[in-house]
Structure 1
Amino acid sequence: MPLHVPPAPAPALRSVLTALGSPTAVREARTSSLRTAQGPLTPELPLPVHVLDRITPEGMSATRLAGWRFLIRCGDRALAAAETRLTPDGWAFSHFFEGPYLASTELALQQSESTAHPYQARLLSLPSLYMLTLWLHGDCASDGTTGHPAPTDLLVPLAPAPPGIAAHRPHRVAELLPVLTLRVTRPPLLGSPA
């Protein structure tokens, strides 16, 4: 079943297109791949980026929408990503970036295309674990801006994943949550800084 990608808000897409059209924004970006790109740059696959601020022994806290991430393509490959964020004036371009999460996101999306169940693609950031996952949400009709990871949703850790958590292996939320809870609630080792 193909993945469902929710449409990004039009102002978020416009802000990325404006940044891509700005020689200053591209030249000053810390992404050498954008500065040396030969050919047109196209924003594709907008994914809502949700942040999970807390995991407690009782479960996950609600997620909050932090922005929209677009893969920036030149020809047949993604060179970078563009992130937008919500400001008091609406959606605005935040920054361009490149790095390991770019290729890892593409790989996770390709692998997830073969799932038997339809899912909506999102990104879920877990800052307390320095972890980013592809969140395959079961409610495909959602606009992508709200929601909570359901026990049957899938999380695909992106590389680099925290030690002991396999990257690119889909986990049901109900199976991965106890592992994540243990990691964030574990007391510090004796003699370690608190």
Structure 2
Amino acid sequence: MPLHVLQAPAPAVRSVLAALSSPTAVREDRTPALRSVQGPVSPESPLPLHVLDQVVTDDSGPRTRPTGWRFLLRGDDRYVAAAETLLTPDGWAFSHFFEGPYLSSTELALRQAESFPTPFQPRLLSVPALYMLTLWLHGDPEADASSTALAPTDVLMPLAPAPPGITAHRPYRVAELLPVMTLRLTPAPLLGSPA
């Protein structure tokens, strides 16, 4: 069943289009891949971006916070970079362009998720404490993009490179991956001093 990809807010899309059309509209240079594209570049596959600040939670379950939207940028018939937007007090604003391993990893994870029999809403979930980015397949395809609850049955697919002990591109239920993430974040006990 196909993924239920949400439409990004129109001002977020416009901010990316403005950045793409005007090099002076951004604070930093375009990525090497963007500079090498011969034809037009278009933002596609908008994904709401959330951050999970605390893996260990109370009884209500883990909560994320929405931080923006990420767009894959297509040029020369392939994804060449990504663009991120963020919500400011004045509305949606372009943040930055980037490329790197998460670009191809996101594309691969989206293709994998398209083959799943269950409908999902794709999102990105960043876990800064583990230096980890995952494709978050939210179980409610009609949910608002700003909803923050991670349901135990939602699926997380870590993108490559994944932290040690967590397999990239393997779909994990939240209830399965959360204990592994918690274990990775728990400090090892200090050994007693030698006698």
TM-score normalized by the length of structure 2? 0.92
Over alpha carbons, which structure has the higher Rg?
Answer: 2
SS in 1 for 2:146: coil
Match of 1:73 in 2: 74
Task: State the SS of the aligned residue for 1:149.
Answer: coil
1:185–1:73 Cα change, 3 Å? same
Read off the aligned partner of 1:150 and give its amino acid letter.
A
Does the 8 Å contact 1:31/1:97 carry over to 2? yes
Residues 188 and 162 (structure 1), Cα distance of their counterparts in 2 relative to 1, 3 Å cut: farther
- Residue 128 of structure 1 aligns to a residue whose secondary structure is helix
TM-fit CA distance, 1:61: 3.5
DSSP-derived class of the 1:56 partner: coil
Match of 2:159 in 1: 158
Q: How far did residue 56 of structure 1 move?
A: 1.5
The 5 Å alignment of 1:22-171 reads 22-25=22-25, 28-56=28-56, 58=58, 60-171=61-172
Task: Give the conservation status (yes or no) of the 8 Å contact 2:62–2:150.
Answer: no
The aligned counterpart of 2:10 is 10
1:158-183 CA-to-partner distances (Å, cap 9, x unmatched) read 00000111000000001111101111
Asked whether the 8 Å contact 2:18–2:25 carries over to 1, the reply is: no
Matched, 1:172 2:173: yes
Describe the SS at the equivalent of 2:85: strand
* Residue matched to 1:20: 20
Structure 1 residues 135 and 118, CA, compared in 2 at 3 Å: closer, same or farther? Answer: same
1:53–1:61 Cα contact (<8 Å) kept: no
Q: Which runs of 5+ in 1 are unaligned?
A: none
**Pairs aligned (count):** 191
Maintained 8 Å contact 1:6/1:46:
yes
Secondary structure, in 3 states, of the residue corresponding to 2:166? coil
Secondary structure at 1:55's aligned position in 2?
Answer: coil
Q: CA deviation at 1:189?
A: 5.3
SS in 2 for 1:62: coil
Change (3 A) 1:57 1:22: closer
Query: 1:38 corresponds to which letter in structure 2?
Result: Q
Q: CA RMSD in A?
A: 1.8
Aligned-partner Cα distance in 1 for 2:191–2:46: 44
In structure 2, stretches of 5+ residues that fail to align are none
In 2, Cα distance between equivalents of 1:131 and 1:68? 17
